[in-house]
Amino acid sequence: MKQLKLLILIFLLHTAVYGQDSLNCRLLTTTGNLVNTYALEVKDNFAFVGSQKFSILNISDIYNPILVYDGILSNDYINSIFINGDYGYLAVNYGLIILDLSSYESPIVLSHLITNEFIEAVIVVDSVAYLGTMSYAFLVIDVSDPQNPYEINRIDENIDDVWEFEIYNDMLFAASEDTGVKIFDISVPANPIELATLNPQNFVVSDMKIKDNIVYATSPHLYSFDISDINNPQLLDILEGAGGHAIDIEGNYAYCTSNSRLSVIDISNAADLKVAGYYPLPSPGINVFVKNKIVHVACQTDGIYFIQFDEPTFIKEVNNNLNDFSLSQNYPNPFNPNTLINYSIPKADFVILKVYDILGNEISTLLNEYQEAGSYKVKFSVGQNSILSLSSGIYYYRIISGDYSETKKMLLIK
């Protein structure tokens, strides 16, 4: 069962690369116990949620989500949801349910195709649906008549146990528990033809996204592959411990959810993936969707978490003649609401930069990552539109890198 395999994947994940509870992320709100979540799809201002029930939420105001529909469509779990126009496609344990969603308040079940295989994923291209299964790779279903879907093909060679799909440039990408990422030519949708495999370490892949000919595949780790030459894909980087169950991409950042954490990864250089932020989750983050840096995380037993990612501001100044560590006085000082902190490290090492109040309580972690030698600037912001809202007073910022540490004082005046 997919639920059991997720528990196995949860056991494999680790979070040793993270030093604190959160970095550059803050919780905005949650749906609480309004819905349980297992599958999540977002369209416009509506969230479509699957568990043992199918739910639709109006999230135009995330602080006041409205439950538009909540009903039991079958006795099976909903493992995956795909929305295409006015139709919803639900992958349930042993079948495919097609819905008429012309009215979100009263979805209509058009058909329920029963399969002998456990269905884990669904995606639709034109009038063809691909169903990822536990026993076969995937089934190809004709859905041109939503009231009468039927199987027209099945792919069951060289791949098994498909968890997720992605479509990119007439290619179908299938994330497999056993065989990594398989890539198929679907220029003829009913007849997928295998093109390539991304599986350098025999890794389990639970999800993937593609951007600018780069595949970002998530397992316990996050992998990046260059597929510019589809006949010769190249592994670019591996960021250990940064993967998990699901991934979404917006701009230069990938958002990955694991059993206990949302991780935000800087992918501006696909060959040098870096952690840019993270936030703890109360239960496994089964699915993730991002819009305008607001991350929608489907937490398995805790509803949807809405988390704001506040992009860090780092400016590196190349200086090959550094001989010593340094931490400069912030500028401006006093400040409100922003100030810059400059520092230099003479050699590559792990760098931690934190802010404390006058009593020594930790206020914020500005930096916690490995950096090359160089001079850097980090922006610290307070106020309504930033992570923190602080009162006037004295604050301290402290840097630690290797055996070096230094603390300086700054003054916030409102």
Query: Which of 60-74, 137-151, 154-168, 301-315 is the least confident region?
Result: 301-315
Q: What is the residue-averaged pLDDT of the chain?
A: 87
Q: Residue 404: is its pLDDT beyond 60?
A: yes
Superfamily of domain 2-309: YVTN repeat-like/Quinoprotein amine dehydrogenase (2.130.10.10)
pLDDT bin (cut points 50, 70, 90) of residue 387 is: low
Instruction: Give the pLDDT confidence of 93-105 residue by residue, as tens digits.
Output: 999 999 999 999 9
Count of helices and strands (H, E) across the chain: 1, 36
CATH class of the domain defined by 314-412: mainly beta
Q: Report the C-alpha gap between 89 and 123 in whole angstroms.
A: 8
Mean pLDDT along residues 347-371: 86
Kindly state the average pLDDT of the residues 134-138.
82
pLDDT-based confidence at residue 322 (cuts at 50, 70, 90)? low
- The per-residue pLDDT for 6 is 44
Every domain of the chain and the residues it spans = 2-309, 314-412
Q: What is the mean pLDDT of residues 363-392?
A: 79
How do residues 4-19 score in pLDDT, each as one tens digit?
Answer: 444 434 333 333 334 4
| 3-state secondary structure string across the chain | CHHHHHHHHHHHCCCCCCCCCCECEEEEEECHHHCCCCEEEEECCEEEEECCCEEEEECCCCCCCEEEEEECCCCCCEEEEEEECCEEEEEECCEEEEEECCCCCCCEEEEEEECCCCEEEEEEECCEEEEEECCCCEEEEECCCCCCCEEEEEECCCCCCEEEEEEECCEEEEEECCCEEEEEECCCCCCCEEEEEECCCCCCCCEEEEECCEEEEECCCEEEEECCCCCCCEEEEEECCCCCCEEEEECCEEEEECCCEEEEEECCCCCCCEEEEEEECCCCEEEEEEECCEEEEEECCCEEEEEEECCCCEEEECCCCCCCCEECCCECCCECCEEEEEEEECCCEEEEEEEEECCCCEEEEEEEEEECCEEEEEEEEECCCCCECCCCEEEEEEEEECCEEEEEEEEECC
Provide the sign of the torsion angle of the four alpha carbons 216, 80, 167, 252, taken in this order: negative
pLDDT band at 135 (very low <50, low <70, confident <90, very high): confident
Higher pLDDT: 158 or 206? It is: 206
- More confident: 7 or 240: 240
How far apart, in whole angstroms, are the C-alpha atoms of residue 145 and residue 208? 30
Find the range with the poorest average confidence among 12-26, 187-201, 240-254.
Answer: 12-26
pLDDT value for 305 = 94
In the block, tokens 């610290």 appear at 380
Q: What is the pLDDT of residues 19-51, one digit of tens each?
A: 447 788 889 999 877 677 889 999 989 999 998
Please tell me the predicted confidence (pLDDT) of residue 100.
97
